[in-house]
Amino acid sequence: MGDHIAMLSNPSAGKGRAGREAAAALAHLRARGADVHVFTGDSAASSEVLAAQALGEEPRVLVVVGGDGTLSGILDLLCESAVPVALVPAGTGNDLARALGLPRHDPVAAAELALSGVARAIDIGEIRTGGRVAPFLTIAALGFDAKVSDRTNRLRWPHGALRYYLALVIELLRLRPMEFTVSVDGSAPVAAPGTLVAVGNTESYGGGMPVCIGAAADDGLLDLVQVAPLSRLRLLRLFPLLLRGTHLSRPEVTHGRARSVTVSAPGLVVYADGERIGEDECTVGVRPAALTVLVPAAKETGRG
């Protein structure tokens, strides 16, 4: 493995934030005397091609400037290589960085981990659906929350947080219980009507909503959270608890851990790391210790 550092960025990620963060990170690393090879893409497809080129040069570290979506788009390549990753968070949610205790608002401190960080092996989730296998970092969302994300992505107006809230209102008006069928670790499928199912490798999605509170990125397990059928009013009352991570004690919420979860339902939409992965049916599994990330020394151990 070479002595240089590779840096991959997509300047458009995080609504342009990644370009600014990449410039600050690059300046810091070069000021510290690092030999940095820069790879700048303009789309998910180009980032995947550039990541393959960067890893082919066998760098000592790959610095990825972007959000959870940027990193998850090259996960297969990263898991096949022995190159550790230093993440400079520059997305809209940055839930993996939150889970691992990475600096989320300081690109210089995040980039410094490429030089002084501690290697930590973390698990990767994978979703099998529609003949494809998609790796993910944080949480697979199935049900109401996935439909809100889907609606948000399809709306062209308004912009920013207002678009999410409009999508939330639309999906609340359309709220119906979903006829989930769930199988855990190969058990017989069970009918489990509900509002949502979340399968988490880490605790939070959507920029800090801890739906899978207590999930660890390095325990070789997935956290399964199921919410029973709810009226619109009861769902609205549950949301503040979700935001505070105090929802698991509610009788309409069940929580468990598994290595594999298969879920199907009419109208099912599957989202992970902010991207639509599939529909109708999926199996969510885990790849233990599949990715090495450089983290602050104080965060070397503990829950994710």
Residue holding tokens 């989202």?
A: 271
Nearest to 92 by CA among 164, 7, 172: 164
Cα–Cα distance for residue pair 122/201, rounded to 1 Å: 9
Q: Are 293 and 84 in contact (CB under 8 A)?
A: yes
Q: Which of 48, 57, 58, 275 is catalytic?
A: 275
Residue 120, token pair as written in the block: 């930590």
- List CB contacts of 204: < 8 A, sequence separation 6 or more: 95, 98, 99, 138, 139, 210, 211, 212
The answer to whether residue 281 is catalytic is no
Cα–Cα distance for residue pair 12/6, rounded to 1 Å: 19
Which is it for the CA torsion 28, 81, 284, 256, positive or negative?
A: negative
Q: Which residues are catalytic?
A: 275
